[in-house]
Amino acid sequence: MSPNRFAQLRDQLNLEGIPEDLLEQAFTHSSYARERHLSELASNQRLEFLGDAVLDLVFAAYLYQRYPEIPEGDLTRLKAALVRKSALASIARSLNLGKYLLLGRGEEGSGGRKKASLLADLTEALIGAVFLSRGFEYTREFVLDLFRELLADVASRDTLRDHKSALQEVLQGRGMSPPVYRVVRTEGPPHNRRFTVEAAIEEEVIGTGEGGAKRVAEQQAAEEALENLDDWLET
């Protein structure tokens, strides 16, 4: 690899102080590590795990302080809107992070650089690398700056709406039909029912949820559908 492979990215994101090998790991997908017979630890999965936890803490603290008047359940919804796979992938796309990814031939051939799931994982891995190198306070400011537009979007719209409404809004914005929710399994005695619901778009299931009430299961199915929507649209 070129020793200056990340020079442009360093300038773009002020990544000075982050070792080259750590950046290399953040951008190494597991498919590349397997293909090159590298250790499983050479991929970005551990950094992704760390970055996910850092994001949770940064946004939990930010939202707690920013919205002192709203209850825990609504704080959870706000945070979910920020750490959703589609949101993380949009950050990666805006920074063109995909061009730095190291992918195996299979992932490269299937358009891995544009997959929402890979880009979301990459965003988390990069944040994990920043945290290891620069500590929490620097990483907090790094994350808040990186997500500035999404944070403004959260503040300016009704993010506290339910997942079903959010999914329908996204689909309408793309000129698509609303999702269809189907109860596919009912279990348990009458006093303790468990419902399994699928959310289908254009006859294809992209989300599944479970709950003690149909509306709860539908909400979970809609949430999962939102997570999977970008990848489904790209297939």
- Is the sign of the CA dihedral 23, 26, 31, 36 positive or negative? positive
Helices (DSSP H) in 84-177: which residue ranges? 85-95, 105-109, 116-146, 148-156, 163-173
Q: Which of 52, 107, 198, 231 is catalytic?
A: 52
Cα 22 from Cα 43, distance rounded (Å)? 10
CA angle 17, 23, 28 (to 5 degrees): 175
User: Residue 124 catalytic?
Assistant: yes
Helix (H, G, I), strand (E, B), or coil: what is residue 180?
Answer: strand
CA angle 179, 182, 185 (to 5 degrees): 150
Q: Which of 48, 107, 121, 124 is catalytic?
A: 124
User: Residue 121 catalytic?
Assistant: no
CB atoms within 10 A of CB 39: 7
Residues identified as active-site: 52, 124
